[in-house]
Structures are given as structure tokens and as C-alpha cells.
Amino acid sequence: MATIAAPPAAAGTRLDAGLLRTAFVLVLGPILALLDTTIVSVGIEATGRDLGAPLGTMQWVSAGYLLAIATVMPLAGWASERFGAKATWIASVALFAGGSALCGLAWSAASLIAFRVLQGLGGGLIQPVGQAMLVRAAGPRRLGRILGTTLLPITFAPVLGPLAGGALLEWLGWRWMFLVNIPVGLLTLVLAARFLPRDAERGKGSRLDARGLVLLSPGLAALVYGFSSAGEGAGFGSARVVAALAAGALLVAAYVVHALRHSGEPLIDVRLFARRGFAVATSNSFLQGATLYGSMLLLPLYYQQVEHASALEAGLLLAPQALGTAVATLLGGRLADRLAPRPLVLAGIALTLLGTVAFTQVAAGPPAWVMVASLVLRGAGLGLMMAPGMATVYASVGRHEAARAAGAVNTVNRVGGSLGTAVMVVILQHGLSGHAPAAAYGGTFWWAFGLSALTLVPALLYPSKENR
């Protein structure tokens, strides 16, 4: 299988300059993709007005992007082995940047949706392939710290996205929400070609698991489509949603049976889930995805609909959460190399729960300082969980399995995010139909609290550091 040449200091414990350069380049890709997602969400309505398309059609600008990501993510491991991780990552960034350019030139809603799908096909491989490259370059002794360092700038995307989106819409127009990716993408490509470690081997991976691809990618796309449709107003009782979720579940189940019987390398090796550390951390990632993505939707909407803040103001109001996440992510990364993951993850969940309580009481009008402190606590809780959880995933697999493990955990996390977002939207819409906005949001945040509490179940099953 393909391997990545590690820096000479990989066997040590110091974060040397070569590793930090690699980490800097690899984090540019996920930042680009995450910023694009949050920037575009701000401008959907304005884009629809300019293109003469209804909101129902324009929702597919985001939904098509998510479907493309879900379709291509399982290919991360195979593509890295077949073409080399560096080549795959560079091609993914190039495809994302090219798709961004085409989106900026779109002449209709249909063309914009098609180009967003193209953009998603590139964006879906950036994070799992880059994550696997970083894990291989860092080695086990530096894994927690380097993951914490690279996760740090990603935490600011939910804050910077609405700010950048609002500014671009006001001063330059909606096309620049996409065109702004081009110079950043070109810079990333130049740096990647210069600084990313070379592929020691390439083209020696197994043949593409075509049957697995036919089962898994459409299955994941059907699940994401079902969740997205439920969140767009159809609800979980809609025949369209039930059919999509049922088809997705059947296809994924068929893939599991196929993968267990497959004599070669399946797209995602489900046997990895037999390892305690991998299974527990991936389950936790699914629930964390549901909590994180659901809250990323709720919090800006709350400030805009209840506090009557603009998109720019909502982004600024979320800055305390990003600050808490940044500090805790660095701390969690350092501690993950020294301590067992269980206490760190449990402490993170406790902080997240504590930080969510005030938002369940928004109808009573809590003081502003309480809300700010709660956002800091929520952010700190999310940050404290990230690096130890991801370190546990990669510590439980061999170096040659990192790419396929990255594809699996990122796919599971994204499906969890789709589920969490859909649940939050459905509950919020139901609440808004019969209650005042503040009361509706308060009730919905109780569900967010419940989702966070569910993460305690797998967190209690984390193994000790020695056995993970």
C-alpha cells in the first residue's frame, strides 16, 4: 500500500519545522472548504434573487454540495493508495478551486447547483486525505499536539464565514463568495507542491472496490438527502424522506455485508470497528457531528431571529465560542499525548452541557454576560474533545490503514452532522409554529442538550491510553 515518507524527526517528540510546515499547508484545505460552506449559507437568499430562482431551488446549492461530499469521501483511502496521497490532495484542492471559479461564473440556478456538486467532489477528499497524511508524518508521539494545532484555525471558520459572507455580499456581490476561493486555492497548491512530503510509493494499492462504491456512495448520498429534505421542511414523516432514508439504510447495510465478505480491500474496512478504540471514537464522532453541526445552525439563527442581529453581528456574537474552542483545542492536543482520552472527553462533554443550559432558558432573558460565558464554556468543551478523540481513532490503526480510517471517521462525522442539523430544524420549525421565537429556540436547545448528553455513552467506553 502507499506510504508517506515521514520527516526525519518523526520518531521524536518535538514539533519540528518540517512537520509544522506540512501541518500549515494541510490545514489550508479544510479551512478553505469550511469557510466556503459558512460563507455560502449567508448568501443563498441574495443569490436566488439575482438568478431569479425560488428558495426551494436554491437550497440545492447547499444540498448538492453535501451530497457530493458524502459520495466521494469513502474513496479517500483507495485514491491515496492508488495515486498517492500528495497527488490526491493536490488534485482535490485544484478541483475545489476550479469548481469555485465556475460557481462564480454561473448563469442560472441549475448551473450553480451543478458547479457546486463539482466543488463538493473536490472538497470531500481534502480533509480525510490531508488528515491521514498528517497522522503519518507526525507519528504516535506527536499525534495529539499536531492534531490540536491543525484543528485550531478550523475552529474560527464558523465565526469568520458569516463575517466574510456578509462583507462580500455588501461590497462585491454574491459571485465573490466563490471567486474569493481562487487566490487562496492557488496559494495552497503552490505551497503543497513545495512543502508536502513526497509519496514514497504510489500505484501499489488494491483495485477499486467497484461493487462497494456502487453500494456505499449512493447509500450515503440517500441518507444525506433524506436528512436534508427533512430539515428543509418535509419532516421525517414525508414519503420522500422515508423512502430516501430507507433506501440509504438498505444500501449501507448491503455494503457492510459486502465488505465483510470482500477478499480484497473494501472502500471502508468495517472490520476496523471491531477494534475498541476505533469503534468508540468513531461513534463519539458521529454524535459530536450531530451536536456540532446542529448547534452551528441554531446559534446564528437564534441571534438573527430572536436578538435581531445581522449576519455580521451574529458572527461577532459567536466569537466567544471560537475563543473557548481555540484555547481548549491547544490544551487538549497537548494533554492527549500524555493522558488517557476518557477523562479529557468526559470533561469536554461536561463543559458543553454546562454551556448549553443557558440557551435552554432564553425565553426568560438571561443576562448578556451569562450568554457570553456559556458560549466560552461550549467552545471549550468542543475543543477539549476534538484532539483526544481523533488521536484515539488513529492510535487504534496501523500507519498503512490511516487513509481508510480517515475516510471512515470523516464520513461518519458528516452523516451525523446531517442528522443533527435535520433534527434541530424539524424541532425548531415545529416550535415556531406554536410558540414565541424565544420559547421555540429554548425548547430546541433542550434537544441540543440531549444530543450532547448522548455522547456520554461512547465516551464512558473509551479505553485507557495503553490499550486504545
| CA dist., res. 264 & res. 255, Å (int) | 14
CA angle 145, 150, 155 (to 5 degrees): 115
Task: Decide which of 289 and 13 is more confident.
Answer: 289
Would you state the pLDDT for residue 206? 67
Q: For residue 358, what is the DSSP state?
A: G
| One domain, residues 216 and 192 | no
Task: Decide which of 349 and 169 is more confident.
Answer: 349
For residue 1, what is the enclosing H or E element? none
| One domain, residues 118 and 257 | no
| CA dist., res. 264 & res. 328, Å (int) | 41
| One domain, residues 247 and 327 | no
Q: What is the pLDDT of residues 391-428, one digit of tens each?
A: 888 888 877 778 788 888 888 888 888 888 888 888 88
| One domain, residues 199 and 249 | no
For residues 420 and 293, the answer to whether their CB atoms sit within 8 Å is: yes
| One domain, residues 334 and 452 | yes
Per-residue pLDDT, averaged over 137-164, amounts to 72
* Burial annotation 182-213 (CB, 10 A radius, 16+ → b, else e): eebbeebbeebeeebbebeebeebeeebeebb
Would you state the pLDDT for residue 254? 94
pTM for this prediction: 0.82
| One domain, residues 223 and 185 | no
Would you state the pLDDT for residue 233? 64
| One domain, residues 218 and 305 | no
Would you state the pLDDT for residue 204? 59
Q: List the domain range (segments joined by +) for residue 300.
A: 271-468
Q: How many angstroms separate the first and last alpha carbons of the chain?
A: 24
Q: For residue 231, what is the DSSP state?
A: I
Lowest mean pLDDT among 8-22, 153-167, 438-452: 8-22
Would you state the pLDDT for residue 3? 39
Question: Which 3 state secondary structure label does DSSP give 414?
Answer: helix
Would you state the pLDDT for residue 203? 56
Tell me how crowded residue 338 is: count the other CB atoms within 10 A of its CB.
Answer: 10
Per-residue pLDDT, averaged over 152-159, amounts to 68
Where does the pLDDT of residue 347 fall: very low under 50, low under 70, confident under 90, or very high at 90 and above? very high
Q: For residue 269, what is the DSSP state?
A: -
Q: What is the pLDDT of residues 237-271, one digit of tens each?
A: 788 889 999 999 999 999 999 988 877 788 888 88
| One domain, residues 133 and 242 | no
Would you state the pLDDT for residue 139? 74
Question: What's 19's domain CATH number?
Answer: 1.20.1250.20
Last residue of a domain, one of 168, 185, 205: 205
Last residue of a domain, one of 189, 205, 221: 205
For residues 20 and 142, the answer to whether their CB atoms sit within 8 Å is: no
| Residue-averaged pLDDT of the chain | 83
| CA dist., res. 271 & res. 262, Å (int) | 11
Q: For residue 234, what is the DSSP state?
A: I
| One domain, residues 27 and 174 | yes
| One domain, residues 192 and 113 | yes
Q: What is the pLDDT of residues 9-67, one digit of tens each?
A: 344 567 777 788 888 888 888 888 877 877 777 777 788 888 888 766 777 887 788 88
Where does the pLDDT of residue 183 fall: very low under 50, low under 70, confident under 90, or very high at 90 and above? very high
| One domain, residues 381 and 420 | yes
| One domain, residues 31 and 52 | yes
Where does the pLDDT of residue 6 fall: very low under 50, low under 70, confident under 90, or very high at 90 and above? very low
Number of compact structural domains in the chain:
3
| CA dist., res. 206 & res. 392, Å (int) | 26
Examine the pLDDT at 159 and tell me if it is beyond 90: no
Where does the pLDDT of residue 73 fall: very low under 50, low under 70, confident under 90, or very high at 90 and above? confident
Q: What is the pLDDT of residues 186-244, one digit of tens each?
A: 999 999 999 888 876 565 556 888 888 999 989 988 888 888 777 666 678 788 889 99
Of 34, 178, 31, 172, nearest to 97 by C-alpha is 178
Last residue of a domain, one of 157, 172, 205: 205
Per-residue pLDDT, averaged over 124-130, amounts to 89
